[in-house]
Structure 1
Amino acid sequence: MSRQVSLIFDSDSQYFACRNLVAHFLAAGWSIQFVILGEFELPPPGNLPPMPVVRVETLAEIWKIPAVVGSTAIGAYLPGSKLREIWLGAEDHFSRNGTRPILFTGYNGVVLQRFEDGMGWRVGYDLIALNSPEDREKAMAFSSHSTLQRATLMPIIGINRTDKPSTFAVERSASWGKTRTVVFAEQVLFPRGPKEKYSLYSHMIRIALENPDWKVVVKPRTPPDGFTFHRQSDHISRFIERNFILPSNMSICYEPLDELLKKTTALLSISSTAFFDAVGTGVPSFTLSDFGISSTYGTHFFHGSGCTICLASLGKLSHGLFESRPTQEWLELKGFSPKFSPANIIAALEELKGAGANDAPLIPFESEQRLLAFPADLPAGNVAARTFWVRLTSSPNAGTVQHPPANLRKTLARIRRRIVGMAGGDAGQAGSNGKS
């Protein structure tokens, strides 16, 4: 019997999360269509065949498109409030129209902050794909007082782009040792302020000047006219142009990362998932310790890797500086292992279909919220998540199909203000997950 999946997204990071699923769905005999919300322009498909595309201006439109509502499954990769809007729209539509698609979602890359809030937005989906055993532990703890564990499948799909990634514990690039190029993978959010940016790129220029036989390359997250899930008011190329004159051996490069890594000696970042892209190609990868171990910058995620470098302390470069490798155990904990694959989503979808999920009501979102209230004896770090549920479920009209995003944003804003006033340092745990 034919299977079709509709993958919904509205930005580049979400597109790449969906793109990572395409080859696996095709290999399993599924047909695929992309549903793009808004004006996001698809990048070139690369080595994948082009997919049929449906464009919508609002999520309400998708329930009027037969090719979408008739899908075997709908995969939603969107910001938190839009994930809930999908669920509410599906409940409203299919409560009157019988057989429904299986709803699933996941995360766009590594989750650096507010994992529990991200889970909160996903409550009610039939399947929530997780990145790693570490995330699975968090998800199980989050849902331990609800029926979510029994009703929702949570397969681990990993964060590697291939089914058989190389690892530093086993091998490294054959070209490593023949190149003298350090690449810095820029992130839209980090560093946050102009002073920190100025300090960061000043050190890069100093390193380039002190090592004229090496190349220092800045790889921006997007081109100047591009956009990502996160807002970007000042592209890094413009910041550098305003503040610096680059030495001849330092440049800004927009070449695809996969191609750039083929001629890279070491990749540096603050907390970019490019770390794992480099790992997968056998290129040494390091996060910068200049910003400390901080959830604000996502550097806490890489703590324990053994692969950190202080940019301010770097002087004369040599290949010996880049010998450190993360252990296989650490990589597996973070989801980088051939054990994990997006194919696990497809196996879980087949399991759900075989169990009759297409003919069953959706997992009740509102009742799950109340069941997910955190008990008082949980650690203080969960105060924000507990407050999130209390205010969300008690907010007037919080569950209406007509205006869920606006109501939820207002509710979250009130929660954030209240937590800032009452919980101090715990406030950083509240709000929708930035990676979604």
Structure 2
Amino acid sequence: MPMINPPRRVSVLADSDSRWKWGAALARRIAPEATLDAYFLNGRATPTERQLAEVGVVPDSSCEVTVAEFLADPRVAEADVLILALVGGGAQALLHGTARAWSALPSRPVVITGYVGVVYEKLTDGLLLRAGSDIVLANTTADAERFREVLAGVGADPGSVVETALPFLGGEQYVPAPDSRRFTVCFAAQPSAPRSRSARRALLERAAQHARRYPDRDVLVKLRSLPGEQTTHVEDFPYQRLLHELTIPAPFNLDLVYGHMSDVLDRTDLLVTVSSTAALESLHRSIPTAVLTDFGVREPLGNHYFIGSGCLTSWDELDAGIVPVPDQQWLRRHGVIADQPYLALQQRISELRSLPEMPSLVPYYSESRASGYQPALLRRYGLDPKGAPLVEAPPPDARSGALTRIVRRTVRRSARRCYRLGAQRVAPVIRRWGQL
């Protein structure tokens, strides 16, 4: 069914590579032909050019911004849809900021928030930080039910929840490897699951052990980032460095790989992970998928999300040739199998855009409702409790305005680079020293 009055311009504000992947893919699902404007929030996890290229979605425009710069950009208010691909605190700050910035405008974009992957922790906290957007996306039937229950329970609008699926699920269905291609096992690594050095080295040892046990197989360790790059979660012990600490040197058929996850899955016959959303991408394509239990089934790891999926297994079982078989009912309830998952979202967007006047954005948290939480949260993003920038830059001098702006921008970008160097390279080294 064609979308009535489809959006012509979609803006995405993202704060990391994984959230850009989610937001960009969602924008293309909503309106494939729309102009896509990309904004990247400056911070610890601002994606690098390599990380952006790895996602594979090329926007029509792109820039790195602070919260104040984003709110002051007139193009944002002119978009038909704004996707806030941010952590919960960032979504809350931008909801307050845009509500204030657009309060006097005759029209505004439809504002969408959601989750990059599976929701396995901080359900209530993260959801209420997103409450107040026009649409809160749930990636699964199970999530939609939980979201509506929580929102109704605190007096927020459960009708804002719209069920979809993870927008980057796709690709060709799996066909077993022919004799002309080597069987390929892919271990999808994560920056923080598990977190400790010993556990991460043990996982790498097991992958290497599997490669030695099956010399006729290729074992790939799919990495998210290069050393020094940051993702949503801090990675203190990159696998690239741990590779040199293996008890026995890595076998010839073990390789570290980068690139778009979909491209790696094109040649994968068995996907292994602790709890990466790559498991959902793999299951969507009917690729045999194993979620590891070697370090327990525990909330901090996130693998408890896969209870009932039929995918929980261990390296010992994989070494013995056991291949998990997924539960089809679990796949349906968790958004892996879905019919027309974006139809309801497109209809909701059309309904909102057809209104004579868009309602004001009213975030769930306010200074009066959460005086010990909301002001400090917004302050971290440079906003006061009402959503106004804390420091307004003075207007540039009429004679030297352009030069002033250039100098200010250059200094600011240099400061950001220094900050990222400290956050991404120096700080992890200091943390490791502290653990010696």
Q: Is the 8 A contact 1:123 1:148 kept in 2?
A: yes
- Corresponding letter in the other structure for 1:355: L
> 1:381-433: per-residue Cα shift (whole Å, max 9, x none)?
xxxxxxxx6843697998343579xxxxxxxxxxxxxxxxxxxxxxxxxxxxx
Separation in structure 2 between the aligned mates of residue 11 and residue 309 of structure 1, nearest angstrom: 30
Q: CA deviation at 1:269?
A: 0.5
Aligned partner of 1:427 in structure 2 is none
Task: Tell me how far apart the structure 2 counterparts of residues 342 and 37 of structure 1 sit (CA, whole Å).
Answer: 27
169, 173, 177: which one pairs with 1:175? 177
SS of corresponding position for 1:347: helix
How many Å separate the matches in 2 of 1:225 and 1:357?
Answer: 47
The 3 A distance-change label for structure 1 pair 288 and 390 is farther
| Structure 1 residues 259 and 87, CA gap change in structure 2 (3 angstroms) | closer
CA distance in 2, matches of 1:156, 1:36: 26
1:95-114 matches, cutoff 5 A: 95-114=103-122
**Alignment CA distance shift 1:206-1:343 (3 Å):** same
Who is 2:327 aligned against?
A: 327
Contact between 1:104 and 1:126, CA under 8 Å: does it hold in 2?
yes
Other structure's SS at 2:297 match:
coil
Q: Name the residue aligned to 1:8.
A: 13
Cα deviation, 1:32-72, whole Å, max 9, x if unaligned, reads 21122225335238775x32224243111123222111222
Distance, in Å, in 2 between the alignment partners of 1:56 and 1:230 is: 20
For residues 302-338 of structure 1, the C-alpha deviation after alignment (integer angstroms, 9 at most, x for no partner) is: 011112221145545x4xx22x321221011111123
Shift of 1:273: 1.0
**Distance apart, 1:213 and its partner CA:** 2.3
Match of 1:158 in 2: 165
Q: Which residue of 2 aligns with 1:78?
A: 86
CA distance in 1 between counterparts of 2:108 and 2:367 reads: 20
Query: Who is 2:403 aligned against?
Result: none
- The answer as to 2:278 corresponding to 1:297 is no
TM-score, scaled relative to structure 1:
0.77
Matched to 1:239, the amino acid is: L
Distance 1:252 1:163 in 2: 23
Shift, 1:132, TM fit: 0.6
Alignment match of 1:23 (pick from 22, 28, 53): 28
Paired position in structure 2 for 1:241: 244
CA distance in 2, matches of 1:399, 1:61: 18
Contact 2:183/2:216, CA 8 A, preserved across alignment: yes
Give the whole-Å Cα distance in 2 for the aligned partners of 1:296 and 1:19: 28
Which one-letter code corresponds to 1:238 in the other structure? R
CA contact (8 A) 1:307 1:325 kept: yes
Q: Which amino acid aligns with 2:275?
A: S
Using a 3 Å threshold, how does the CA distance of structure 1 residues 160 and 102 change in structure 2: closer, same or farther?
Answer: closer
CA distance in 2, matches of 1:207, 1:314: 8
Partner residue in 1 for 2:36: 32
Corresponding residue number in structure 1 for 2:415: none
Tell me the SS of whatever aligns to 2:162.
coil
Q: Matched residue of 1:207: which SS?
A: helix
Note closer, same or farther for the CA distance 1:34–1:47 as it changes in structure 2 (3 Å cut): closer
- The 5-angstrom pairing of residues 236-315 of structure 1 reads 236-244=239-247, 245-315=249-319
Q: Does the CA-based 8 Å contact 1:160-1:280 persist in structure 2?
A: no
Per-residue deviation, 1:129 = 0.9
**1:392 corresponds to:** 373
Name which of structure 1's ranges 140-149 and 283-292 shifts more when overlaid on structure 2.
140-149
2:149 alignment partner in structure 1: 141
CA contact (8 A) 1:165 1:338 kept: no
Q: CA deviation at 1:286?
A: 0.7
Could you tell me which of 204, 219, 242 is aligned with 2:222?
Answer: 219
**Residue 365 of structure 1 pairs with residue 354 of structure 2:** no
Asked if the contact 1:20/1:161 (under 8 Å) is kept, the reply is yes
Alpha-carbon distance, 1:88 to partner: 1.3
For 1:298, give the aligned amino acid. G
Letter in 2 for 1:307: C
RMSD (Å), alpha carbons: 3.0
Give the TM-score of the pair, scaled to structure 2. 0.77
1:401 to 387, 395, 405: 387
Is the CA contact 2:131–2:156 (under 8 Å) kept in the aligned structure 1? Answer: yes
For structure 1, which segment, 293-302 or 139-148, has the greater mean C-alpha deviation from structure 2 after superposition? 139-148
Task: Report the identity percentage.
Answer: 24
Q: CA deviation at 1:343?
A: 4.8
Specify the alignment match of 1:193 in structure 2.
196
Q: 1:340 to 1:109 in 2, by over 3 A?
A: farther
CA separation of 1:233 and 1:403: change in aligned 2, threshold 3 A = farther
Deviates more, 1:332-341 or 1:35-44: 35-44
Give aligned pairs, total. 373
Higher relative contact order, structure no. (Cα contacts within 8 Å, ≥ 6 residues apart): 1
Please state how far the C-alpha of 1:121 moved relative to its aligned partner: 0.8
1:218 is paired with a residue of what secondary structure? Answer: strand
Aligned partner of residue 236 in structure 2, secondary structure:
coil
Alpha-carbon distance in structure 2 between the residues aligned to 1:273 and 1:369: 37
Tell me if structure 2 keeps the 8 A contact 1:218–1:253: yes
Unmatched segments (≥5 aa) in structure 1 = 167-171, 371-388, 405-436
Tell me, what secondary structure is at the counterpart of 1:121? helix
